[in-house]
Amino acid sequence: MSSTQPKPLANQQIFKEGYLDELLKKIDPNEKLDEHSEKFLNILGIDFVRLLLKDAGQFAKKRGAETVAPSDIYYVLETNFNMTLPGATGKNVYDTRPNKPTNDYLEKLSAVKSFLNKRNED
């Protein structure tokens, strides 16, 4: 999760050349993408992936990780884009770290328990 600037969009492609045409032919064999449409879809794909990774990186930082985990990507897809992936939903996707209480929480819990014990003794 480095903070380097992204490369300019010139000469970048997220899809192999001809992939979008192949995909479109599976949907409708009579259709073909023009050059501008293919370029637009590549730019759209690049922007989508950048935004997804940026948000997943921020989410990973919030949970204290140094790397982006698949659960970070799934979380961003579901919350920011309302997208779900088959087989990747459910509680197990987000269980990336054990539930370990913080010291502050344990101290507060101890104070509450001692207060309740003193109260019950009276």
Question: Which pLDDT value is given to residue 58?
Answer: 94
Question: Is residue 26 domain-resident?
Answer: yes
Reported as a pLDDT band with limits 50, 70 and 90, residue 101 is confident
Give the CATH number of the domain where residue 48 resides: 1.10.20.10
pTM over 0.75: no
Question: Is residue 74 domain-resident?
Answer: yes
Query: What's the CA gap between 91 and 94, in Å, rounded?
Result: 6
Q: What is the largest CA-CA distance in the chain?
A: 85
Question: Is residue 46 domain-resident?
Answer: yes
Backbone angles phi, psi at 37, to 5 degrees: -65, -40
pLDDT (tens digit, 9 = 90+) per residue, 11-20? 677 888 888 8
> Looking at this protein, which amino acid is placed at residue 70?
P
Compute the mean pLDDT over every residue in the chain, rounded to the nearest whole number: 82
Question: Is residue 5 domain-resident?
Answer: no
Residue 44: in which H helix or E strand, if any? helix 35-62
Backbone angles phi, psi at 69, to 5 degrees: -100, 160
Question: Is residue 9 domain-resident?
Answer: no
Question: Which pLDDT value is given to residue 119?
Answer: 79
Question: Which pLDDT value is given to residue 121?
Answer: 78
Reported as a pLDDT band with limits 50, 70 and 90, residue 35 is confident
**Residue 18: left (phi > 0), alpha (psi -120 to 50), or beta?**
left
Reported as a pLDDT band with limits 50, 70 and 90, residue 85 is confident
Domains: count for the chain: 1
Question: Is residue 8 domain-resident?
Answer: no
Asked whether 31 and 25 are in contact (CB, 8 A), the reply is yes
Helices (H) and strands (E) counted in the chain, each on its own, are 4, 0
Question: Is residue 14 domain-resident?
Answer: no
